[in-house]
Amino acid sequence: MAPELIHLDAERIARRGDTAMTGAEKVAEAEWLLDGGIHPDHIAAQLGTNVLALIKACRDYGRKDLGRRLSAGQIRHDRLPTQGERRRAA
């Protein structure tokens, strides 16, 4: 069963009296959500960041394996395929 997504914006966090998550907490939360089947884009949005920053945080906290799992779930729309990639796909 996938964990329920609850969006906590800055105003809601302030009302609850919560403090911002540390980097290590974000990495642990990302792993838990990813294990639950949540897409990396949704995980990053819930944690108030973007996927690339989350991947960097994973690397910074010694979790390159988790960073690779997050990037594997990404669909790359930010660039066109290289000539070699087009040849291999054909």
User: From the CA atom positions of the chain, what is the Rg in Å?
Assistant: 16
Joined tokens for residue 88: 């291999």
Q: Are 61 and 27 contacting, i.e. CB atoms less than 8 angstroms apart? A: yes
Between 76 and 73, the more confident residue is 73
Q: Are 23 and 60 in contact (CB under 8 A)?
A: yes
pLDDT in tens, 22-38: 888 889 999 988 888 88
Token output for 87:
């040849």
User: Which residues, 6+ apart, have CB-to-CB distance to 89 below 8 Å?
Assistant: 81
Q: How far is Cα 50 from Cα 1, in angstroms, rounded to an integer?
A: 24
Q: What is the pLDDT of residues 5-64, one digit of tens each?
A: 555 556 666 676 667 788 888 899 999 888 888 889 888 888 888 999 999 999 999 999
- The single-letter DSSP state of residue 1 is -
Query: pTM of the prediction?
Result: 0.62
